[in-house]
Amino acid sequence: EPEVTQTPSHQVTQMGQEVILRCVPISNHLYFYWYRQILGQKVEFLVSFYNNEISEKSEIFDDQFSVERPDGSNFTLKIRSTKLEDSAMYFCATNWGGSTDTQYFGPGTRLTVL
Amino acid sequence: KNQVEQSPQSLIILEGKNCTLQCNYTVSPFSNLRWYKQDTGRGPVSLTIMTFSENTKSNGRYTATLDADTKQSSLHITASQLSDSASYICVVSAGTGTASKLTFGTGTRLQVTL
């Protein structure tokens, strides 16, 4: 069964550094999402992406965050200058028909900011 | 403010037993409700999705119910297996069901033991 993959599985970085988290969506999916989950807390929506542009974003997704799909396969989340509070699991999700369709989540990237 | 509350917070049951997890929500206007299973360190996996007009939906040993009048949902697991040990997350979608309007519960952590 096709699945969403994410790399790296774990990223450790120093505060202030830039990180790029990568996601390979299921091949025929058109909608892409990033979520985060701070340890012990609920999953939170960050951003959705369709047709090479942001569809929606939450208040968490500020100017420090950006997304792109540079080569038509990888879907990336960039954090320009990481803060301690960015430490979390970051999940990519994708689906075929928009947010009412079942979203398939990747295994996540654990980001640790020191 | 849209909220999703789940109970119990955690639950331990013996293999083979049944259990029921609860979800109460104050999300308006309601669009749909989903149950996800999340293994430790993994992304959530969709179990069921129900719209306003659906009262019950099954997926194997998982049966979800929805009472839109009382704004309650339950997830019933039959004949539990060790592999059912995971967090179960209730997610409610508001309005037009856009991704930014998904409200996640904090989950019920289920442990199935011998």
Q: Is the pLDDT of residue B97 over 70?
A: no
B107 at the A interface (CB within 8 A)? yes
Alpha-carbon span A37 to B40, nearest angstrom: 12
pLDDT per position as a tens digit, A27-84: 889 899 999 999 988 999 999 999 899 998 999 999 999 999 987 789 999 999 999 9
- Determine the pLDDT at residue A112: 97
> How big is the CA angle at B91 (ends B86 and B94), to the nearest 5 degrees?
175
Alpha-carbon span B17 to B39, nearest angstrom: 20
B87 at the A interface (CB within 8 A)? no
Comparing alpha-carbon positions, the chain A residue that sits nearest to B97 is A100
CB contact under 8 A, B104 and A48: no
* Higher pLDDT pick, A2 / B26: B26
- Determine the pLDDT at residue A93: 93
Q: Is the pLDDT of residue B95 over 80?
A: no
Q: What is the mean pLDDT of residues A17-31?
A: 93
Alpha-carbon span A26 to A32, nearest angstrom: 10
Distance from CA of B13 to the nearest CA of A (A): 22
Comparing alpha-carbon positions, the chain B residue that sits nearest to A61 is B100
pLDDT per position as a tens digit, B5-46: 999 999 999 999 999 999 999 988 888 899 999 998 888 999
Q: CA of A25: how far to CAs of A71, A72, A88, B21, in Å?
A: 12, 10, 21, 31
Are the beta carbons of A20 and A77 closer than 8 angstroms? yes
Contacts with B98 (C-beta within 8 Å, 6 or more apart), sequence order: A48, A55, A56, A99
- Determine the pLDDT at residue B53: 87
Are the beta carbons of A106 and A4 closer than 8 angstroms? yes
Stretch among B57-61, B99-103, B107-111 having the lowest mean pLDDT:
B99-103
Containing B97, the helix (H) or strand (E) segment is: none
CB contact under 8 A, B42 and A42: no
Cα-to-chain-centroid distance, residue A51 = 16
Cα-to-chain-centroid distance, residue B96 = 20
Q: Is the pLDDT of residue B96 over 80?
A: no
E strands present in chain B: 3-7, 10-14, 19-26, 30-38, 45-51, 56-59, 62-67, 72-77, 86-94, 102-104, 108-113
Q: Is the pLDDT of residue A88 over 70?
A: yes
